[in-house]
């Protein structure tokens, strides 16, 4: 299997994400070397993200607040990712749910594990 390495830091993580991204557009046939490489990259990425990016008991809105406060992100950046700054405000104030497309964009741009953005969470009662 060509060009596989351990993920020790954010640079390695970014490299692995870039490597695996090509497989999303063209899924490798099962049993091929490319399919094996995909599986190994996915396992390495998951392990690294679980160890370094896991936020165990946080719901998606908490994860977004954490990213904004602790990872140098902003509500304006979130707005660009999900369509508009008002949408970002609505998500952060629990008035709007994240869509699958929003989750994918946020995960890719901010290197947040998808599973941290897909957990069930409550909206404010008048918006639920």
Domains of the chain: 10-52 (no CATH), 60-127 (1.10.260.40)
The pLDDT of residue 7: 93
Tell me the pTM. 0.56
Among candidate residues 85, 88, 22, the one with its CA nearest the CA of residue 60: 88
Q: What percent of the chain has pLDDT over 90?
A: 54
- Cα–Cα distance, 94 to 14 (Å, whole number): 30
Among candidate residues 41, 29, 35, the one with its CA nearest the CA of residue 3: 41
The DSSP code for 80 is: H
Query: Would the pLDDT of 114 be above 80?
Result: yes
């Amino acid at each position: 299997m060509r060009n596989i390495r351990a993920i020790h830091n954010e640079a390695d993580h970014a490299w692995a994400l870039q490597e695996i991204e090509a497989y999303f557009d063209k899924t490798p046939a099962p049993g091929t070397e490319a399919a094996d490489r995909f599986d190994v990259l996915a396992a390495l990425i998951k392990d690294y993200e679980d160890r370094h990016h896991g936020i165990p008991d946080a719901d998606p809105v908490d994860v977004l607040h954490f990213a904004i406060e602790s990872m140098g992100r902003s509500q304006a950046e979130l707005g660009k990712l999900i369509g508009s700054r008002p949408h970002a405000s609505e998500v952060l104030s629990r008035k709007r749910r994240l869509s699958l497309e929003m989750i994918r964009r946020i995960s890719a741009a901010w290197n947040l594990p998808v599973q941290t953005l897909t957990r069930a969470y409550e909206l404010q009662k008048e918006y639920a």
